[in-house]
Amino acid sequence: MSQSEFASAVRHAGGVLGEPNTCNKRLVQKWESGEHTDCRPNYKRALQAVTRTPYEQLGFSGAAAPLPDAPLLTGRLGGVLHRHAAQPLPGVVGEPGDRLRFALERPGHVDNEAIAIVETNTERLFALEHHRAARTIAGAVNRHIDDVARLLAGTRREPVRRRLAVVGGRSAALAGWLAFDRGDAASAHQYWDSSLAAARYAADGPLLACVLTYLSYSAAERGDPATAWQLAHTAVSHAGRDPRARAWMAGRAAEEAATLGERAAALSELELALSLGSDLPTPTPDDDTLPWLRFFDTKRLAAIAANVHGRLGDVQAAVEAAEWAMRTLGTEQVKVRAVVLAEVACAAARAGQLDLVEQVVFEAADLADGLEVTLARRKLRALLQLLGPYRASVIARRVVDRLDVE
């Protein structure tokens, strides 16, 4: 980009983020020359969106130190890990997920305080995933898995090992999702295999259901909706009584049944999802919502409903669901927002509402690119096909020019 083009991109990103700025060519020159060594928070966030790079890595001398690659470890856990640091896990090679699976077979010792710390760190990493690109936290998650593996290798007490297995399994599930968002399907499945092993070891049905649902997204991405449907449908039976989990998994099953044209099954699965999830409260930090379910609420369910109805050809129902999603969307710049906006754009395109497509699609694309949201990118690829009949429209051409860049 020229300096003027870069300034224009920063202004556009500020508008998308709801934080307008007045970036111009002169300001870009000052950044490049080092005359300005720091910038205001709204400019920091806009720069990150444009460059797809954390602000701390952009070369400003006034930038704070970047987040550590691994969670900060203090107290008793730090001591436990320090003692084990010089004790490599014999015979273990490959990804951290492989080391986790190995550690599940090795007895040892660790206390409850150490486990509580790694449990808290696991939840923190899931929370970061909602609004951070996969590449920025993958290293932290991998090292966290290593920490859990060392603790597992150091304990012989079966109840403690099961508790640690759950922590490790959740962390491996997250690592798999991050790999999936980076387009690395092989690594994603390797992590998820480890997570499934942990779920079986600990007899943790909800964790098993979580991984099956993640696998359903991967199956859909590689063009296998039949397997995706089977995985999501099976996940519902392992999810336990949690309505949020069952609503998500039934919704996933409905999406893939609709993709296959199985109308009765899709509507039945969607009816179950809506009955369980239509009035879900927004998760709060102190509630008992499982970490991988905190993204799922009524706006995500509404987007699923729009997808199901749209794929079944029920255009009006799809538009109504999209309008429901928009009413509950809020303003938080997180990954689920990209998915919801992309789904709204698809519903609008099916109905020929190009003004609504234009209203939401550019923000959806910017978020999908900046936060590495594979699900949103997939929906935007579908949008290109839906806009085919409208290629003569000025709006459609603008949208296609923005999306058809690969």
Query: How do the pLDDT tens digits run along the chain, 406 residues long?
Result: 888 888 888 888 887 677 889 999 989 998 888 888 888 888 988 888 788 677 887 888 765 444 333 333 333 444 444 444 444 444 444 555 555 555 545 435 566 777 888 888 999 999 999 999 999 999 999 999 988 888 888 787 888 889 999 999 999 999 999 999 999 999 999 999 999 999 999 999 999 999 999 999 999 999 999 999 999 999 999 999 999 999 999 999 999 999 999 999 999 999 999 999 988 888 887 788 999 999 999 999 999 999 999 999 999 999 999 999 999 998 888 999 999 999 999 999 999 999 999 999 999 999 999 999 999 999 999 999 999 999 889 999 999 998 875 4
d(CA 96, CA 131) in angstroms, rounded, equals 23
Judge residue 111's burial from the number of C-beta atoms within 10 Å of its C-beta, 0-12 exposed, 13-18 middle, 19 or more buried. middle
d(CA 141, CA 313) in angstroms, rounded, equals 41
Buried b / exposed e along 114-148 (16+ C-beta atoms within 10 A)? bbebbbebbbebbeebeebbbebbbebbbebbbbb
Query: Do 103 and 169 belong to one domain?
Result: yes
How many structural domains are present in the chain? 4
CB atoms within 10 A of CB 11: 17
For the entire predicted model, the pTM comes to: 0.75
Q: Is residue 288 part of a domain?
A: yes
Q: Is residue 210 part of a domain?
A: no
Q: Is residue 47 part of a domain?
A: yes
Query: Do 78 and 174 belong to one domain?
Result: yes
Q: Is residue 77 part of a domain?
A: yes
Query: Do 280 and 348 belong to one domain?
Result: no
Q: Is residue 62 part of a domain?
A: no
Q: Is residue 209 part of a domain?
A: no
For 177, the enclosing helix (H) or strand (E) is helix 158-181
DSSP assignment of 301-340 equals HHHHHHHHHHHTT-HHHHHHHHHHHHHT--S--SHHHHHH
**What type of residue sits at position 136?**
T
Residue range(s) defining the domain that contains residue 34: 3-57
Residue 281 CB partners (closer than 8 Å, separation 6+): none
